[in-house]
Amino acid sequence: MKIDLPEVMAEVRAAFESYEKALVSNDVATLDELFRDDPRTVRYGVMENLYGHSEIRSFRAARSPVALGRKLSCTVITTFGREFAVASTLYERPTAPGRIGRQTQTWVKFPEGWRVVVGHVSLMEKPAA
């Protein structure tokens, strides 16, 4: 198996960046599109456990569009072959001072493109420097 093929890395990075842009601009249609439309898709959030695309879509539709901006750091994307990837990043939001968020996404390439099949978001106290 080839790890981090440059052309696959470019595809996944573009999908990851599309997701981030949609997230901070509250582009719910794009967020819904980038999560696999399947009852087995899972998203664990800071305050919610969502099973299946319909629960994820309902959560996105009800989410407040206020203060969604954030700053990413330590983003790591690893691809395995041509159809599987994992993206992990840290984030900070002005609305959560002293805390750091962690996000992990499992991406799979389907005929319709790269889709998140599992997402996990958590928040913790920021470690002392």
Residues 108/36, Cβ–Cβ less than 8 Å = yes
Determine the Cα–Cα distance for residues 105 and 75; give it in Å rounded to an integer.
Answer: 11
Boundaries of domain holding 91: 6-125
Please, which pLDDT band fits residue 128 given cuts at 50, 70 and 90? confident
Within a domain: 36: yes
- Say yes or no to pLDDT of 64 above 90: no
Residue 53's domain is classified under what CATH number?
A: 3.10.450.50
Q: Report yes or no on 96 lying in a domain.
A: yes
- Over residues 27-56, the pLDDT tens digits come to 999 999 999 999 999 999 999 999 999 999
The contacts of residue 58 (CB under 8 Å, 6+ apart) are: none
Is residue 1, in this structure, part of any structural domain at all? no
Would you say 115 and 87 are in contact if contact means Cβ atoms under 8 Å apart?
no
| Residue 129 pLDDT greater than 90, yes or no | no
Within a domain: 75 = yes
What does pTM read for this prediction? Answer: 0.94
Cβ-contact 73, 61 below 8 angstroms: no
Taking only the tens place, the pLDDT of each residue in 73-123 is: 999 999 999 999 999 999 999 988 999 999 999 999 999 999 999 999 999
d(CA 119, CA 31) in angstroms, rounded, equals 12
Whether residue 102 lies inside any domain: the answer is yes
Count of structural domains within the chain: 1
| pLDDT for residue 66 is more than 90 | no
Query: Of the ranges 9-18, 39-48, 56-65, which one carries the lowest mean pLDDT score?
Result: 56-65
